[in-house]
Structure 1
């Protein structure tokens, strides 16, 4: 299970996730990702049944099984 602040698929928001992404880029060269990015990464690592749950709050949940 991953708990993350997910970006919209068109990178238009939400504002909180964009600000987190900017902060990570400046401090650690990291970034926030979209749900499709996590699905692709998890599938490539052998995880199946990837389920994305948008909570409508700051953080969203991603559940996958291996």
Structure 2
């Protein structure tokens, strides 16, 4: 499946944004987190720097193989 993103402007959010949006506690941040549809957010990078586990996925990063 190929996505055409002709009229989409991706934006990302930070760890602080995620904490506020999802009311994440310190215990939550110590858990393994799946970030779905995070786009180009810095959340994963910030969490990884803090040695926390995050897996991010988003259809805008789908590789097209021909």
- Please, what TM-score do these two structures have when normalized by structure 1? 0.30
Highest CA radius of gyration, 1 or 2? 2
Larger relative strand fraction = 1
- Please, what TM-score do these two structures have when normalized by structure 2? 0.30
